[in-house]
Amino acid sequence: MKYETSVRTDPGHIDGWALLGAVLTGADDGYYRLPADVEAARSALAAAETIPDPPMVDVDAARADLVDGIVRAAEQGTKVPTLAGVLKATAAAVEADEMRAALGEVVGRLGRSRDSLVLGGADRIITESLRPAHDQAVVAARSAVAAIGRAGADPAEVLAASEVLVAVELREHRSVLDGARRRYDAVMTARAALVRAGGCPGMDVQSMFGWARNGDQFRHASAAPPPWPTDPLAYFVWRVTGPAHLWCPTAADQDERFETVFAEAWPVSATAATPASEACTSRPAKSPGRPASTSPGPTHVVPPGGGGPDRRRRGLETSRP
């Protein structure tokens, strides 16, 4: 489903349609449930959109009938027809136009209400809707990986294989693992969109802590081989079972963690070396409450999907390093 937004955004910074769609699509797919007032606003908008437009009225056709009637009356010496048909058609056309305009205003108002609740309530949706779904997906994935491992199989290979080629006793675990992966991807896609909509981190500008509380432990020189698998499915298994402490943070959570980890290491910099594709374009020009510094921040390569969405599905964030 394509989503449109009536929230005005600067196209040079964030794409309101893309952000809104990233959040609503995951809810539509059943990966998480949005807060009750957001769902109520969505239901109201959906109901308004189902109200049918009034039928079109052809005033010109009614006028043509009147002209034809007058011509026949003149030719045959009969009674001249009245304007009743034209007046009725004109009134019906005006009524239909007014109804269409009113319905357009209704949909617009309800759409703005929905957009405001979604894009303006980023932190609440992350904490109330995405975080529980994130934790459930991680727990399910870890359980499935452990079960597949106990059977002596490689979880990434099982996940990559067609279901019909997987041993019968592993199919259920594969299904759980695949569902957890899809749910996790949807959650992290929505989280990245909401963080952009609500204001990107002012300190953790490279989203080092956008996916793991200990994300600083996965920094490495860009020229060195990454310490994680490059295969997407193997990488997911590594992410949920490896040394990363996964979480689903708000932008404020990221900054708080960044400050805790690096407060004594170096001055916080708003100009830290950040790949352009990973920079959050709606972030403040400098860290709140701190002067800008010319000292370099932590140069690193973020693991694939580090706080961003699944690029195979959305393309809103990073490219794989």
β partners of residue 246: 212
pLDDT of residue 167: 86
Mean pLDDT (the chain) is 79
Taking CA atoms, 179 is separated from 8, 23, 66, 183, in Å, by 35, 18, 66, 6
Q: Is the pLDDT of residue 129 over 90?
A: yes
Q: Does residue 316 carry a pLDDT above 80?
A: no
Q: Can you give the residue ranges of every domain in the chain? A: 34-120
Tokens encoding 161: 């294989």
pLDDT, residue 165, reads 81
Q: What is the 3-state secondary structure (H, E, C) of 103-170?
A: HHHHHHHHHHHHHHHHHCCHHHHHHHHHHHHHHHHHHHHHHHHHHHHHCCCCHHHHHHCCHHHCCHHH
Determine the Cα–Cα distance for residues 40 and 118; give it in Å rounded to an integer: 12
**Token duo for residue 245:** 């402490």
* Distance (Å, whole) CA 7 – CA 114: 10
Using an 8 Å Cβ cutoff, are 80 and 73 in contact? Answer: yes
Tens of pLDDT, residue by residue over 162-208, are: 887 888 889 999 999 999 999 999 999 999 999 998 888 999 998 99
Give percent of the chain above pLDDT 70: 76
Token pair in block for residue 182: 């899809």
pLDDT tens figures, 257-283: 999 998 766 554 433 333 333 345 543
Strand, coil or helix: 69: helix
User: Which pLDDT does position 15 carry in this prediction?
Assistant: 64
Residue 156 phi/psi, 5-degree rounding, is -65, -40
Q: How confident is the model at residue 124 (pLDDT cuts 50, 70, 90)?
A: very high
Convert the pLDDT of each residue in 203-253 to its tens digit. 999 899 999 999 988 876 666 777 788 888 899 999 999 999 999 999 999
What CA–CA distances, in Å, run from 188 to 133, 156, 241? 10, 20, 17
16-20, 35-39, 54-58, 207-211, range with the lowest pLDDT? 16-20
CA distance 151 to 120: 47
76 CA to centre of own chain: 70
CB atoms within 10 A of CB 201: 27
pLDDT at position 267: 52
CB under 8 A, 24+ apart: contacts of 176-179? 176/140, 176/141, 176/143, 176/144, 177/140, 177/141, 177/144, 177/145, 177/148, 179/140
Nearest partner of 89 among 54, 55, 53, 57, judged by Cα: 57
Between residues 317 and 233, the one the model is more confident about: 233
pLDDT in tens, 135-146: 999 999 999 999
- pLDDT bin (cut points 50, 70, 90) of residue 308 is very low
- 109 vs 296, higher pLDDT: 109
Q: CA–CA separation, 302 vs 254, rounded Å?
A: 14
